[in-house]
Amino acid sequence: MNKITTILLNFRTLLAAICIGSLCFVVNSCGPSKPTAQVAANNALEVRFNEGKTAYEKEDWLEAIRIFDEIRLQAPTSDYAVNATFLEGMARYNSGTYISAAVDFRAVRRNYPSSPLAPRAQFMVGESYNMLSPRPELDQTYSQYAINEYQAFMRDYSDTYKPLVDSAQMRITDIRNKMARKILLGAELYLKLSSNNSAIVFFNRVVDNYYDTPSAIEAQLRIAEVQYGRKKMKEAQDAVLEFEEKFFTNATPAQRARAHSIKQSLSLK
């Protein structure tokens, strides 16, 4: 930095100090000033936000949603907007309107990415979709949405927001078990319809895509049993060997006994 620049900066600093000093003098000379429009607006927002919190604490979800929605729409850049948006999402979540809750939680992350609430909001998007995840035999679209959102949370916040990481991983595990169970049930249905080839395809899908779930253990064993029942001894033997190599440790005693029974029967052929 050259001398001319330094002088200019010092002059500007001095000028700013003089201006501030003059302003303080004018303000002090004129006595207490009336609240500005901005201060009045902030006071009104604070009052309204507290009304929303009171409604939330009373579990009056509809009233809380109405107030928080009003705040975030009328003052989206205010200090209260991010909290109002998050609490609106929580009110919708608690009232059972999970899709709308997910929209609000997404808005927190999108509009206020640097807010301390952004990590929890991302986690709550996953929670909202998880609440819409149905029984295994039904469509699992929302289950996949939930997994995607939990994975986004773990990707973006695992180092900065660790308290919920374990919860997210546990949710993913539970959902994957459910999705694997759906395919396993489909395979069993194909067997009832005497569509063995389709059943084998579905069992293999469980093993390939959900190898870390209890359903994969059962699916591999069922492949061996079905192939043995079809008198495809080579395929049955391969399936039993794969069961022993990949799943025997985590199999139940009953599953191990079934595998042993198939193996013994194969040795007699």
Q: What is the pLDDT of residues 243-253, one digit of tens each?
A: 999 999 999 99
Q: Where are the domains of the chain?
A: 40-112, 186-267
Question: Among residues of the chain, what percentage have pLDDT more than 90?
Answer: 78
Q: What is the DSSP letter of 163?
A: G
Neighbours of 48 (CB within 10 A): 18
CA distance 111 to 105: 10
pLDDT exceeds 60 at position 10:
no
pLDDT exceeds 80 at position 27:
no
Q: How confident is the model at residue 43 (pLDDT cuts 50, 70, 90)?
A: confident
Residues 6+ apart with CB under 8 A from 122: 105, 109, 149, 152, 153, 156, 157
Q: What is the pLDDT of residues 103-143, one digit of tens each?
A: 999 999 999 999 999 999 999 999 999 999 999 999 999 99
CA distance 12 to 4: 12
CA distance 13 to 20: 11
CA distance 220 to 245: 11
pLDDT exceeds 90 at position 88:
yes
CB 172 within 8 A of CB 145: no
Are domains 40-112 and 186-267 of this chain identical in fold? yes
* Residue that is written with structure tokens 């193996």 in the block: 263
**What number does CATH give the domain 40-112?**
1.25.40.10
CA distance 187 to 216: 12
Class level of CATH domain 186-267 = mainly alpha
- Is this structure's pTM higher than 0.85? no
* Residue that is written with structure tokens 């009328």 in the block: 74
